[in-house]
Structure 1
């Protein structure tokens, strides 16, 4: 399932609740691949590009042993995450979900993904979020 399908599932009515992913190509507005950086610090650093209150496509970059990718994908799907692109054949996994982005929820999801990866002999490399470009 792609991010457009995730958006429609998340809003329950297509893209009318915020931005329309069918008409706007989102851009990365914030990212963090540093374990020591808090989500609040990353969001503060991204104040010029990130728009609070507008849904974002939150993506977690995981490195998972190939034999665990299917299990990790299935477990993450229970929380609304889907793999980006087609089903991964390698050990690098990108899980994504549409949500309102704030420091608390970002931190919770970052911790959840790190725990999920660790339980399956993997590593959470970092995260990023996409939103429509500012005009």
Structure 2
């Protein structure tokens, strides 16, 4: 029985930023820009109204920036940056989403991750799962 050529049958050897990775890169870039801009406006205009929420929006923006950079860079270092960023994003959206539902008083204004990203069509909830799946399936052989 002939041996299959593993380079043509295993998509994991493909670059992080090819195929669906380009779509992920675009979505992460959009979220990096929107979350960072939102946090900047909130912090600079009315920080005292909801400091926790606004700081969490800034953290989300930084996480999205790091994930975007990791996916764009690719390679071992880029993959590690994206993996850590997506993991932090997943924990963040689950923790902040839960806290914003359980203790609404602590979140008088929404963050990107409040109510599991309901203000953004729940994309912040789905995105880290898709990102982690993509990174896992495109790890070096």
Q: Same fold (TM over 0.5)?
A: no
Structure with bigger strand share is 1
Give the TM-score normalised by the residue count of structure 1. Answer: 0.29
Name the structure, 1 or 2, with higher relative contact order (CA <8 Å, separation 6+). 1
Bigger Cα Rg:
2
